């Protein structure tokens, strides 16, 4: 297990380094950062001064090494628009995004896992058809459209819930439902298919022939193996939900990191955009690593195959 952990950690660090370089390079390829800071009406003299002041006139590799060195020391840069360290802004905004992501992820698991297990236990039943309907509907409905419809119904027409802001727990209900429903279909379908595959295996049939109850076979024997691919997908979905909060936070005006990313992109605030993209990418890599380690702990064959 130690060798497997070290190997996966090394791969995760390599991926994180590659993502950090791509994040840095793509944002500079997208346009001239000096022009983004000053605006389209800036003079050539002003643009040249900003390039030299911020080091934009140096080779890209040199800029990346300097930027990465500051990142390692905990310096995420200085916001061009807010005129404060990026780390100070993120300390205010990240807790909102993390809270929304965890709430939505918990809701998705509460819906997807029981329905997926029930659908696999009773194929072609009413529960199975309901699960498939929710899965198809969840993929067909865009999250921003669902968010707008929820605002119209529950905020405008019924007046039950606030439509924007993050002042209280009530402000998180609608965005949690929308973001959680976004992740539900994939987890539900994979849970159902994994359970169906495991339930048709020889060792499950042996357990049934021994006279074990349906509940024992389902939850003690089948679920442990069926949940392995679900763990990997759930970790990826949580990463997607954190990064995908940009749309949901914009719809519901939640002042989290997702909303900050949108504001920074529109204002050309490159240090803030770089820091947010890097943090989201590292979070995704870390979640994938934790899922791999958890799967290796659940199933020794996973780590023996490496």
Q: The CATH number of the domain where 120 resides is what?
A: 1.10.3720.10
Residue at 232 is within a domain: yes
Model confidence, pTM: 0.79
Total number of domains constituting the chain? 1
Residue at 33 is within a domain: no
Residue at 5 is within a domain: no
Residue at 173 is within a domain: yes
Residue at 177 is within a domain: yes
Residue at 165 is within a domain: yes
Per-residue pLDDT of the chain (306 residues), as tens digits, is 666 666 677 777 787 778 778 777 766 666 667 776 666 677 778 778 877 777 777 777 887 888 888 888 888 888 877 888 888 888 988 899 889 888 988 998 898 888 888 888 888 888 888 888 888 877 778 888 888 888 999 988 888 888 887 888 888 899 999 888 888 888 888 888 888 887 777 776 776 677 666 677 776 667 777 777 787 778 778 877 777 678 888 888 888 888 888 888 777 777 888 888 888 888 888 887 787 777 666 665 555 555
Range of the domain at 220: 87-268
Residue at 250 is within a domain: yes
Nearest to 105 by CA among 175, 195, 163: 175
Taken as a whole, the chain contains a residue count of 306
Residue at 72 is within a domain: no
């Amino acid at each position: 297990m130690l060798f497997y952990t070290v190997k996966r950690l090394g791969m995760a660090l390599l991926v994180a380094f590659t993502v950090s370089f791509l994040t840095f390079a793509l944002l500079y390829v997208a346009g001239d950062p000096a022009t983004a800071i000053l605006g389209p009406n800036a003079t050539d003299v002003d643009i040249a001064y900003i390039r030299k002041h911020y080091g934009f006139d140096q080779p890209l590799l040199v800029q990346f090494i300097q930027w990465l060195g500051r990142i390692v020391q905990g310096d995420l840069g200085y916001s061009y628009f807010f005129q404060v360290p990026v780390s100070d802004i993120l300390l205010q905004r990240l807790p909102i995004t993390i809270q929304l992501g965890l709430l939505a992820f918990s809701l998705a698991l509460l819906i997807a896992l029981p329905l997926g297990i029930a659908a696999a236990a009773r194929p072609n039943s009413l529960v199975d058809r309901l699960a498939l309907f929710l899965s198809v509907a969840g993929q067909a409905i865009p999250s921003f459209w669902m968010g707008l419809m929820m605002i119209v119904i529950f905020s405008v027409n019924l007046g039950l819930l606030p439509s924007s802001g993050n002042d209280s727990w009530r402000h998180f209900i609608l965005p949690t439902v929308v973001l959680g429903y976004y992740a539900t279909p994939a987890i539900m379908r994979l849970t159902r298919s994994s359970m169906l595959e495991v339930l048709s295996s020889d060792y499950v049939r042996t357990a049934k022939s021994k006279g074990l109850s349906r509940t024992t076979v389902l939850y003690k024997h089948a679920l442990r193996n069926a949940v392995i691919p679900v763990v990997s997908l759930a970790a990826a979905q949580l990463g997607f939900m954190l990064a995908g909060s940009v749309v949901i936070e914009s719809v519901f005006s939640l002042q989290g990191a997702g909303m900050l990313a949108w504001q920074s992109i529109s204002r050309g605030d490159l240090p803030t955009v770089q820091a947010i993209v890097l943090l989201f990418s590292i979070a995704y890599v870390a979640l994938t690593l934790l899922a791999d380690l958890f799967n290796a702990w659940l199933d020794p064959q996973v780590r023996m195959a490496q």
